[in-house]
Amino acid sequence: MEKVKNAPVKYVIGVVRFPPVADLDKFAGAIQSELGEEYPFGSSPRFTELSIKVDEKGVEVTPQEVALWQFLNAGRTCGIIVNQGLVGLHTMAYENHEDFLGKLLRVVEVARGLEGNPLRFVEALALRYVDLIVPSEGETLSDYMQAKLPTDIGIDGLKMNDGVNVLGMKSSVGNIRLQVFLNPKTVLPTDLISPLFADSGWGWELPEREFVTIDTDHATVYAPPIEVEKIDIREHMFSLRKPISDIFKKIATQHAMKVWGLE
């Protein structure tokens, strides 16, 4: 599938969580040894207040001391994330889901094949998509959005500046959290903003007109952890992605889909 020219997706992250490995540096180093040609820029900044968490709520970054490795591709547009109990991939230059999930699954397969078989059990799988919707000049958000946007409470003299609608749903494979932000203070949800972005050189300027950020998060949690041989990670990741796509298509208008080249 070719890249959609005007697609509004700005950031995507996919992760696989597993019981912690004993030696993070050895584990991360072994992954880079296998994938270093594709992801040559490695760094291990000590993030004093960063933890990537996957549970029924999805993928979240919460305050906590944690060690982390990141390996960026040559263009610094896509990176592997590794900590003691997680491997993942994130990007600010999303092409399409086959391309992204293919790269993520490549990382997972490398981790599974390492000496000592560190990825024997899986605790969680998750995908998270962030889309930015900015109407063109002369258009409004209603030209692009079918979903109900945050609204004020109808008090004279008060005008709403920003707001958020949050919806939790359950799918056949996990839990979904949908957040629709109207004119937030940052393009990405604040729990995603971390030193990873400074390390990557990634950033997004706030639009000058009204805009919406759509944040869709879909996760499966295995309690207790499941043996990796008992699940098809590829099939499961694609199953996580489909409802995210369905939600987006339901939210957007036909005009929006035409503008974005997604008809």
Q: pLDDT tens, 29-46?
A: 999 999 999 999 998 866
Q: What is the DSSP letter of 39?
A: S
Residue 262's pLDDT is: 82
Residue 81, pLDDT above cutoff 60: yes
Q: Categorize the per-residue pLDDT at 182 as very low, low, confident or very high, splitting at 50, 70 and 90.
A: very high
Q: How far apart are CA 191 and CA 135, in angstroms?
A: 25
Distance from the Cα of residue 128 to its chain's centroid: 3
Q: Exposure pattern of 226-240 as b/e (b: 16+ CB <10 Å)?
A: eebeeeebeebbebb
User: What is d(CA 117, CA 166) in angstroms, rounded to the nearest whole number?
Assistant: 39
Identify the CA nearest to 217 among candidates 39, 87, 56, 29: 56
Helix 97-112 vs helix 233-251: crossing angle, to nearest 10:
150
Q: Across residues 66-76, what is the average pLDDT?
A: 91
Q: Using one digit for the tens of pLDDT, what is the confidence trace for 211-251?
A: 999 999 999 999 999 999 999 999 999 999 999 999 999 99
Confidence at residue 51, expressed as pLDDT on a 0 to 100 scale: 59
On the question of pLDDT at 2 being above 70, the answer is no
Enter the pTM of the model: 0.89
- Distance, CA of 107 to CA of 105 (rounded, Å): 5
pLDDT band at 52 (very low <50, low <70, confident <90, very high): low
Mean pLDDT of 2-23: 85
Distance from C-alpha of 109 to C-alpha of 104, rounded to nearest angstrom: 9
By CB atoms closer than 10 A (0-12, 13-18, 19+), residue 152 is exposed
4, pLDDT greater than 70: no
